[in-house]
Amino acid sequence: MVGTSDQVIEKIHAFTNNYSCTNLVVYVQFPSVNIIKVNRSIEIFTKKDIPLFSS
């Protein structure tokens, strides 16, 4: 899922509702993507997005 934090949150909500998903595997390191950008994306995802899905 690609997009802003808000877009990804919306996509995860839709995915989990449509497929009764309880676990999600995230792959963020793609060839040629700057590691600093990857680390920043991981930081945002873990601090802003994941807590919204904790039960």
**pLDDT tens for residues 11-54?**
998 998 898 888 888 888 888 889 998 899 899 888 988 888 77
pLDDT of residue 49: 86
pLDDT of residue 3: 87
**What is the pTM for the complete model shown?**
0.70
pLDDT of residue 55: 65
Say how many CA atoms lie within 13 Å of 25 toward its Cβ: 1
Task: Dump the DSSP string for 19-44.
Answer: HT----------TT--HHHHHHHHHH
Distances (CA, A) of 32 to 22, 37, 38, 53, 55: 31, 11, 11, 30, 35
